[in-house]
């Protein structure tokens, strides 16, 4: 064999070997090896999170009984008080028009009383002589007594407008006292501020707000899709943003019968009594989240949610189950409770089935798999 023929033969052998290697790699590339996982028995807890805040169960606002000027503030925000403790005093600034009106009412009632006294004396003499009946006498006597009481009330009203207290010496309406035991949360006024009493037309000026910090509640909102699964009396766990690593147990005590629309979604207010830790001080208004268990199931058949696929047309969930070496068959599933990691399987697979773990393949490969299965 000539030298040239040997060279040509060597080239052909090399090319043939390269072709075999190329086809071998191509064939191996087309064979995709899938791992499998089996359904398993587990427990699934479905939860939701309600966003809200922690507030005192009892909180009241202290308002003055009379309009005036803050004379002295004796306590400060954060101070603990007992019911009846003096918080501040109000100095009354008489309204000139009201003062004149009250004085005129006193004078008018004095005139009415004078006339009633004259009538009473005259009719008493007639009654004592047997000239008039007892009923007539008693009517005149009642008018006289009523006039005396009206004068006393008018004089007290006059003194209140003028000095802030009645002539009897009572001055409670100028003293701002605590209506309950607790902690002063806020004093939004300062000495010298004008304050207004509450009435049917005006809410009045808040001088202080007091709350019992030993009894706190969580107040939050849940979505309409979840409110139907809540049960009064259920235990929840409250996490407070300002207190890391601690969850406070709480008992659900209120679920609103009516929702409110917020941002296109209907929300329902909930409340829960929070069990406090004596070593941790919780401030009113802390933002908080509540973990609420909506559904809990034990010893159920489940698979990982990552194994699920959904039909493009029907959107039904399915998995692929191994039938032979590297061969799989689609199974449509009926699903139950999910915790977003595992999902309950009601129908479609059994505990011993081997379910395909989907690899990262191209879109065309995935479509071919669906068509073949």
* Tens digits of residue pLDDT in 52-78: 999 999 999 999 988 888 999 999 999
Residue that wins the pLDDT comparison between 10 and 281:
281
Q: What is the pLDDT of residue 32?
A: 67
Fold of 96-163: Helix Hairpins (1.10.287)
Give the SS3 label for residue 359.
coil
Buried b (16+ CB within 10 A) or exposed e, 94-117: beeeeeeebeebbeebeebbeebe
The sign one gets for the Cα dihedral 104, 105, 107, 112 is positive
Q: What is the tens place of the pLDDT at every residue in 194-211? A: 999 888 888 899 999 999
In 3D space, the residue among 335, 303, 332 whose CA is nearest the CA of residue 320 turns out to be 332
> pTM for this one?
0.60
The model's confidence at residue 92, banded by pLDDT at 50, 70 and 90, is confident
Q: Do domains 49-56+213-296 and 96-163 have the same CATH topology?
A: no
According to CATH, what is the number of the domain 36-44+298-372? 2.40.420.20
Pick the CATH number of 49-56+213-296 from 3.40.50.1000, 2.40.30.170, 3.10.20.520, 3.40.630.40: 2.40.30.170
In this predicted structure, the answer to whether residue 31 has a pLDDT above a threshold of 70 is: no
Which residues, in sequence order, are CB contacts of 70 under 8 Å at separation 6+? 88, 89, 90, 91, 189, 190, 191, 192, 193, 194, 195, 207
pLDDT bracket for residue 23 (50, 70, 90): low
Q: Which residue ranges make up each domain of the chain?
A: 36-44+298-372, 49-56+213-296, 64-92+171-211, 96-163
Contact 334, 371 (CB under 8 A): no
pLDDT digits (tens, 9 = 90+) for 316-351: 999 999 988 888 999 999 999 888 899 999 999 998
Distances (CA, A) of 64 to 85, 196, 256, 326: 15, 7, 33, 84
Q: What is the mean pLDDT of residues 298-303?
A: 92
CATH topology of domain 64-92+171-211: OB fold (Dihydrolipoamide Acetyltransferase, E2P) (2.40.50)
Residue 364: pLDDT over 50: no
Q: What is the pLDDT of residues 113-157, one digit of tens each?
A: 999 999 999 998 988 888 889 899 999 999 999 999 999 999 888
CA proximity to 196, closest of 181, 207, 211: 207
Determine the pLDDT at residue 285: 94
Give per-residue pLDDT as tens, 248-257: 999 999 999 9
Better-scored residue on pLDDT, 20 or 249: 249
Look at residue 171 in the predicted model and tell me its pLDDT. 44
Return the pLDDT at 371: 47
C-alpha distances (whole Å) from 66 to each of 86, 106, 189 are 16, 20, 15
Average pLDDT, whole number, for the chain?
86
């Amino acid at each position: 064999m000539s030298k040239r023929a040997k060279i040509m033969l060597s080239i052909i052998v090399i090319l043939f070997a390269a072709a075999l290697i190329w086809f071998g790699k191509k064939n191996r590339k087309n064979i995709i090896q899938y791992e499998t996982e089996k359904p398993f028995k587990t427990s699934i807890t479905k939860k939701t999170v309600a966003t809200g805040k922690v507030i005192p169960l009892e909180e009241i606002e202290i308002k003055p009984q009379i309009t005036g000027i803050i004379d002295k503030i004796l306590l400060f925000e954060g101070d603990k008080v007992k019911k009846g403790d003096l918080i501040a005093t109000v100095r009354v600034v008489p309204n000139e028009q009201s003062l004149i009106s009250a004085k005129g009412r006193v004078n008018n009632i004095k005139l009415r009383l004078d006339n009633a006294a004259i009538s009473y004396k005259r009719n008493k003499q007639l009654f004592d002589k047997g000239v008039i009946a007892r009923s007539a006498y008693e009517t005149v006597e009642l008018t006289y007594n009523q006039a005396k009481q009206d004068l006393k009330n008018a004089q007290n009203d006059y003194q209140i407008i003028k000095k802030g207290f009645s002539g009897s010496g009572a001055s409670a309406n100028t003293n701002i006292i605590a209506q309950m035991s607790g902690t002063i949360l806020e004093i939004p006024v300062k000495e010298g501020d004008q304050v207004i009493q509450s009435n049917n037309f005006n809410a009045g000026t808040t001088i202080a707000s007091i709350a019992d910090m030993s009894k706190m509640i969580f107040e939050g909102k849940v979505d309409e899709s979840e409110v139907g699964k809540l049960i009064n009396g259920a235990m929840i766990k409250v996490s407070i943003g300002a207190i890391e690593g601690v969850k406070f147990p709480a008992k659900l005590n209120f679920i609103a019968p009516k929702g409110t629309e917020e941002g296109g979604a209907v929300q329902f207010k909930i409340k829960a009594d929070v069990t406090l830790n004596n070593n941790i001080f919780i401030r009113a208004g802390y933002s908080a989240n509540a973990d609420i268990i909506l559904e809990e199931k034990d010893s159920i058949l489940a698979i990982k949610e990552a194994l699920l696929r959904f039909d493009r047309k029907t959107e039904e969930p399915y998995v692929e189950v191994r039938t032979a070496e590297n061969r799989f068959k689609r199974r449509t599933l009926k699903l139950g409770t999910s915790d977003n990691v595992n999902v309950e399987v009601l129908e479609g697979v059994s505990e011993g089935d081997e379910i395909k773990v989907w690899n990262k393949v191209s879109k065309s490969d995935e479509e071919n798999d669906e068509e073949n299965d």
